[in-house]
Amino acid sequence: MSIEEISRFFEPESVAVVGASRKPDKFGSVILQNLLTLGYPGRLYAVNRNAAEIQGVRSFPSVAAIKERVDAVIVSVPANQVPQVLKDCQQNGARNVTIISAGFSEAGEPGQKLLAEVLSIARSGHIRIVGPNTTGILNPSARFTTTFMPLVKDVRNGSVAFIAQTGMFAGVMVYHIITTQHFGISKVAGLGNKVDVDETDILEYLLQDKATRAVMVYMEGLRDPRRFLSAARTFVQDKPIVVLKGGRTPAGAKAALSHTGSLAVNSSLVTGLFKQAGVIVATELEEMIDCAKILNCESLPQGNRVGIASMSGGAMVMASDAVTEAGLVVGSLSQARLAALQKLVPEWAIASHPIDLEPLSEIVGRYESHRVGLEALLDEPGIDMGLVVTMLVGGQAEEEGLVNALAPALSTRRKPVVIVLLGPKAQCETLAARFEGMGVPTYAMVSNAARSLAALRQYATIRRI
Amino acid sequence: MSIEEISRFFEPESVAVVGASRKPDKFGSVILQNLLTLGYPGRLYAVNRNAAEIQGVRSFPSVAAIKERVDAVIVSVPANQVPQVLKDCQQNGARNVTIISAGFSEAGEPGQKLLAEVLSIARSGHIRIVGPNTTGILNPSARFTTTFMPLVKDVRNGSVAFIAQTGMFAGVMVYHIITTQHFGISKVAGLGNKVDVDETDILEYLLQDKATRAVMVYMEGLRDPRRFLSAARTFVQDKPIVVLKGGRTPAGAKAALSHTGSLAVNSSLVTGLFKQAGVIVATELEEMIDCAKILNCESLPQGNRVGIASMSGGAMVMASDAVTEAGLVVGSLSQARLAALQKLVPEWAIASHPIDLEPLSEIVGRYESHRVGLEALLDEPGIDMGLVVTMLVGGQAEEEGLVNALAPALSTRRKPVVIVLLGPKAQCETLAARFEGMGVPTYAMVSNAARSLAALRQYATIRRI
């Protein structure tokens, strides 16, 4: 299997949409519309027996009728028509087929029979298949997608890739990520029932993909664990992988069986093997996203000692608990640094760590206290990572004040820093955009921040830092 | 201690703000402004030696100089002036003092000495103290607050109360809740260093407070655990309590000591005692809010069996895992109900539980499939709670379609239902507002939904349902 073989799924120079339709609620119609919306720059063909042109795109009665060899074929027709489409692909010479249609592995004996037929044609035609039963591929930088979920023009281009053994969920995750997260997406691979192309194939492609810095994987079953683990072991020496394993419990495994036809694998065994291979294992969706965010933008910490600063004593307590419970250590400041801070607080206050910004603010002002606190954490050799918990009151002056106070130290930081934003929602969102624009991960809760720092530290140990 | 004594902290007929100021960045200035913004309807006095009037409010040189006995005194002056203010209160006859100022228990020996003086005056004057070192009280329905965090006029009035042994954090939590949550607040009690009025006092007041249906508590130390547990045991027979305990870890306990001067208590022991007393114990902030939301609006389930419906197979797998890991059981549908559903899906699909709405949608339409799925869960005796995971694509038609399809069944539901909203952010927010407007809790993630259902079930067992 060559990487080039997989790359055509993501970077095709020509594309055929089989099942392209004029009816706006048909998947085939949305897929074609998405390619037009994104401005796909390659050669685009519709395939529909009953039209010469659809949405301005020239239409052919079959893939076989297209004159050039098509790089990528997207199939959205009823399952029982898919074998014929595969034969047409074989005739055309097309070798990369993403099957959107459902009704195979998950659809009882008739589905299994159809699938066997499809696979047999694929084998003889040297055709690789993504899917079936999936939204398939999204590659914002190539303006290419196979998804039937309506897309907007400006899918944020970024450096996190997402592989998911599922159909619709991969598409909805794209919506979720592009509307709630500031990191962008490099590639999405919805694998659906995963009858051919699997996580390992995609990993091998992503390893050499310059656009991708971190990978999230949602996985239900694993056909060839040994091959995946071996690929993962190599991969994580370059880029981090966060895996969320669905079907961890008997009930989840049962649901997975009817979802993608995946057989359950012993969950704690898999988790252990993943961790041994250097994969970060998330236990739920938000954790996977949280971890990908920090792994995508932060340098790796030299140790496990976290420094904490906040205006709120309660936040410092919660952060200390969260850091400890995440398996990290609340660091400490040297006597010299504490003495220096002591000079900046009122007489009644005792400088200590976590750094209470409130007394500092009474002398140096509120925004300046954040600068002083952050710089103390960054300069202190006893601290490996910084966690600043803001207490926001609201207003643009506060936004400017905090950004101006923190930006210089953040832009030259030599250790990872995360910022927790607590306060009025609108302001948390504005500041999240500003800090993440500087490559600083932000979180709404200290517990999310702490477990993300722990994942970062875990990845550092994998990389032997 | 009478409940009336505590009620004056929340529902005073007259209020004096000591330290009221014209300088807009002074806490005393913001406190007065907040009372004016909220439209506090009682008699309001400023106390400031150097002014006859502040922000249009008549000012007195001291509390002692005010002619009537003042129900509630808010003190925001430097710590060393507080003993004199207390003497003035004693002279006035005022018995409810909220001390905003910091610089007592957390401020070393001089602070401890000041505190002893304050407590001694309070004792001889029969004065109760909230604080010091806190934002204090917020009671939206009485348009009353002691907070120095700038408030907007429309603090959402609701039925969740929040007690917090902290200062600024309670205030920022109010911002967070009113801007991210659809449930409103009935009362907030920031207890700061908690030198006098504590959680138990507030609980006794809230037990008879008709506006309060559920209580969240953030607690660091506990002076009299026996008294709290006894009050909690009575309280939970009427209304649920969710506690987040800060200082669970050695590092957190150390931070708590310098924050509120609270000594650490053995955490697992406390957790065990809390659970025995019928208190829901949260492990982090978001969980406390999530649990309060469901406890505030849902009826109690008869059992622990959760029914799941979604358009996404991946979501059903994740939901099944999350429900199981939360200690609940993924329920099942009767043969008769499965047979009825089988008639509504295409030939290739096999009706099962969790309910896959996708094949249903191919026959009855997308929105109608949600109605069919929800009603199957609600009608099924083998299901105690419903969990619907939406997969949103975007657009107003989808919003109307889903709300219209689900509203009738939701409005007459006889078992708890929660909805997970996954998709484009703007639409998730719109639908959250609409469903929560119907009293249906919504969550962004299945794991949050599952642990909230588990808390609801836990509370049902406490109430012997």
Show residues of chain B in contact with A347, CB under 8 Å: 110
Q: How far apart are CA B72 and CA B17, in angstroms?
A: 9
What Å distances lie between residue A87 and A65, A94, A100, A248, B9, CA to CA?
Answer: 12, 10, 17, 38, 79
Tell me the pLDDT tens digit for each residue of A375-431. 999 999 999 999 999 999 888 899 999 999 999 999 999 999 999 999 999 999 999
In tens, the pLDDT along A58-88 reads 999 999 999 999 999 999 999 999 999 999 9
Q: Is the pLDDT of residue B353 over 60?
A: yes
Q: Which residues of A touch B424 (CB under 8 A)?
A: 175-176, 179
Q: From residue A2, how far is each of A8, A162, A204 by CA, in Å?
A: 11, 21, 9
Please list every residue in chain B whose beta carbon sits closer than 8 Å to the beta carbon of residue A170: 314
* DSSP characters over A205-220: HHHT-TT-SEEEEEES
Query: Does the distance separating the beta carbons of A314 and B169 come in below 8 Å?
Result: yes
Contact flag A423-B176 (C-beta cutoff 8 Å): yes
CA dist A91 and A65 (Å) reads 9
Question: How large is the ipTM?
Answer: 0.95
- Calculated CA dihedral for residues B91, B70, B189, B248, nearest 10 degrees: 0
H or E stretch at B391: strand B385-391
Cβ distance B172 to A423 less than 8 Å, yes or no, reads yes
User: pLDDT band for position A106 (50/70/90)?
Assistant: confident
Answer whether A74's CB lies under 8 Å from A100's CB. Answer: yes
Instruction: List Cα–Cα distances, B150 to B20, B183, B269, B457, in angstroms.
Output: 14, 20, 39, 38
> Helices (H) and strands (E) in chain A — how many of each?
17, 20
For residues A375 and A337, the answer to whether their CB atoms sit within 8 Å is no
Under an 8 A CB cutoff, do B166 and A110 touch? no
Residue B132: what are its φ and ψ, rounded to 5°?
-75, -175
Using an 8 Å CB-CB cutoff, list chain A residues near B248. 321, 325
Can you say how many angstroms the Cα of residue B436 is from the centroid of all Cα atoms in its chain? 16
> Which among A259, A257, A237 has a CA at the least distance from the CA of A190?
A259
Checking if the pLDDT of A185 tops 90, the result is yes
AA letter at A188 = V
| CB < 8 Å from A in window 281-340 of B | 283-286, 311-325, 329-330
Place of tokens 């504005």: A430
- The one-letter code for the residue type at A257 is L
Residues 167-226 of A with CB under 8 A from B: 167-170, 172-173, 175-176, 179-180, 218, 220
Tell me whether B350 touches chain A (CB under 8 Å).
yes
In chain B, what residues touch A448 (CB-CB under 8 Å)? 286
Find the closest chain B residue to A308 by CA distance. B255
Residue of A nearest to B395 (CA): A150
pLDDT value of residue B263: 62
Output the six-digit token pair for B464: 């012997």
DSSP A33-100: HHHHHHT--SEEEEE-TT-SEETTEEEESSGGG-SSPPSEEEE-S-GGGHHHHHHHHHHHT--EEEE-
Q: CB distance A103–B175 less than 8 Å?
A: no
List the 399-428 stretch of B: residues with Cβ below 8 A of A: 422-426
Give the pairing of strands B417-422 and B355-356: unpaired
**Cβ pair A321:B106 closer than 8 A:** no
Min CA distance, A250 vs chain B (Å)? 8
For residue A1, pLDDT beyond 80? no
* Distance (Å) of CA B344 to CA A103, B349, B362, B376: 16, 10, 9, 12
Contact B17, B47 (CB under 8 A): yes
CB of B394 within 8 Å of a chain A CB? The answer is yes
**Residue B180's closest chain A neighbor by CA?**
A425
**Pick from B249, B325, B350: CB nearest A320:** B249
Tell me the CB-side half-sphere exposure of residue B421, using CA atoms within 13 A.
Answer: 22
- CA dist A368 and A352 (Å) reads 18
In a mutagenesis test of the A interface, which of B105, B218, B263, B318 is the best target, namely the one with the most A β-carbons within 10 Å? B318
- Tell me what the pLDDT averaged over chain A comes to: 94
Q: How confident is the model at residue A48 (pLDDT cuts 50, 70, 90)?
A: very high
